[in-house]
Amino acid sequence: MTKMMETDQTGWEIGGKQLTSRMFIGSALYPSPAVMEDAIKASQAQVVTVSLRRQGVNKEAGEGFWNIIRELGVEVLPNTAGCHSAKEAITVAQMAREVFGTNWIKLEVIGDQYNLQPDPYETVEAAKVLVKEGFEVFPYTTDDLVVAKKLVGAGCNILMPWGSPIGSGKGLMNPYNLKAIREAFPNMPLIIDAGIGKPSHAVMAMELGYDGILLNSAVALAQDSVAMAKAFALAVEAGRMGYEAGAMQEREFASPSTPTVGTPFWHQNK
């Protein structure tokens, strides 16, 4: 990031921790550990999501991955990816807390294997248990306002609605629903999780007033992951700054930026 961007960043709090970057990034799908490391650095993300299951497949590879994450000095957000029931997700979350030494957990309970849509019932049930066990739950959910309210009722202090299905790159399928969630919970940290495919999608999400973006595939599967990570860092920052600056209201008709009355004499017809 440029020096000017670093100056423009302002701190914010989520899950009891202070951050400056509003971009969260995933650690899967990269062509190599070196590319992953360089992309995370380029993104300037301070939170990286990790999967306990993926790291447990190969002990040696898992240790190498964990060494990279430690050296980066980022906050770790373990997830329950691949779980299909509340019971399964709770067990993985408990294991992740022991392995990664954090009470943060990205709660994913998949209900449909085709579009990877989260199961609202199992997600809410898992959230209730995990909150009581002292976890800071980051629940992955759809853009359904009713489900969002149920998760808040279960004790969640953060919501992570999708923009569109995981890995689809379709951007924000339903800005209206996302805006409704933002308006319903004006003071709650909200992160768009899943479906962001291009930097312009990130700008749109941030302009809605969301507090951050979590993405993985858009960077990991890009032709140049490092360059794309930089692009997203700029997009997230620009979108947030635009939101805070207060965009002009849309108009039905054109309105001249330089009205005739009061214009300098050299702009008037002779």
Which sequence positions are flagged as catalytic?
106
Q: Note the helical H segments in the chain.
A: 3-8, 33-43, 52-56, 59-72, 86-100, 120-132, 145-153, 175-184, 199-207, 217-220, 225-245
Dist. CA 93–CA 81, nearest whole Å = 10
Question: Which secondary structure element, helix H or strand E, spans residue 141, and what is its range?
Answer: strand 136-141
**The CA-based dihedral angle spanning residues 193, 197, 200, 201, taken in that order and rounded to the nearest 10 degrees:** -30
Q: Which amino acid is at 205?
A: A
Choose among 180, 175, 204, 210: nearest CA to 192: 210
Radius of gyration, CA atoms only, the chain: 21
Dist. CA 66–CA 53, nearest whole Å = 13
